[in-house]
Amino acid sequence: MTGGYVSDSRGREMNGEKRTPEETEEYEKALFKRHEELRISVGHSLRCAARLPDEDEPFIKRWDEAHLPDLSITASYIVNARFGPAWKNPRTIEAELGAIRSDLKKLNRRVTLLDSYTKSAINRAGAPDREEHEAAMVSGDPERIVSAMKAREAVPREQWAVRAALSEMDRLEAGIVQVIEQTIKAGDQLPPTGRIPNYEKNEVALYVADYLYEVTEKIPGLTTKPIVTGPFALALQEIFKILGLPAGVKQPGKWAISKLNPKTPRKF
């Protein structure tokens, strides 16, 4: 893997480059393909570490594995964790979303206060069948005109342009509020330096440890001296290599084990 493999789906710049829509589409296809390749490789490593029979397709559960955590989801979390926190500067995103939310509320109010005639004109101009309706009106064909008018009357009020727009703005604001809460939590977790040390390796190690704990029902052990050995340590070593992370499993492995709670393991 190279450093150029980044996750656009998490709102990051694509290596600081500007791409055309066509180039972006091709890039995202390649990104998805690479993600799947990594996910499958990680899946094989986890099956091996958990002493599960390896399969050509690691994510298909055998009949006797129905009770086990979802390996496909775990592998996705591990691959995503390789690229660090979702937001490099969560407080900046929080401020930007707050400003957008404020603008949305103002826009919502301005549209709501429009007079009924203006709203009706907007609804007509923004109707999905506008072109067909206008064509029918100028056609002079009585049957076509009647049919177009009946079709217009049958459109549910919820689909009228003004009402639909206000509804979508409400939905957008609700989504923004939830993401603002996420950015606040992400910002609160940042140390004074603004970056979580060893975030990627620690997160990957924790997901691996969680999975092995759920499968084996035992806290995984960690052996690194005189050589790296044991299911957990070997899995970390292999997965770090697959993901292009720096070598060294002792510290992230110890950190992950310290975060496991025997009574409430993280569920996937």
Please tell me the least confidently modeled range out of 36-50, 134-148, 174-188, 190-204: 190-204
CA 257 from centre of chain: 26
CA 88 from centre of chain: 15
Could you tell me the maximum CA-CA distance found in the chain, to the nearest angstrom? 91
163-189 average pLDDT score: 90
pLDDT > 90: percent of the chain: 40
Structure token digits, residue 101: 């939310």
Backbone angles phi, psi at 223, to 5 degrees: -120, 120
**CA distances, 210 to each of 74, 189, 248 (Å):** 9, 21, 19
Q: Is the pLDDT of residue 10 over 50?
A: no
Rounded Cα distance between 236 and 36, Å, is: 19
Rounded Cα distance between 88 and 14, Å, is: 14
pLDDT at residue 17, as a whole number: 55
Looking at residue 54, its amino acid is D
CA 185 from centre of chain: 17
* 253 class by beta-carbon count within 10 Å (0-12 exposed, 13-18 middle, 19+ buried): buried
HEC secondary structure over 191-234: CCCCCCCCHHHHHHHHHHHHHHHHHHCCCCCCECCCCCECHHHH
**CA distances, 90 to each of 58, 94, 195 (Å):** 35, 6, 11
218-243 average pLDDT score: 89
Strand partners, 229: 223
Strand partners, 223: 229
Please, what is the average pLDDT of the chain?
Answer: 83
Q: Is the pLDDT of residue 261 over 50?
A: yes
Q: How many alpha carbons fall within 13 Å on the CB side of residue 166?
A: 16
134-161 average pLDDT score: 80
Q: Quick one: pLDDT band at residue 59, thresholds 50, 70, 90?
A: confident
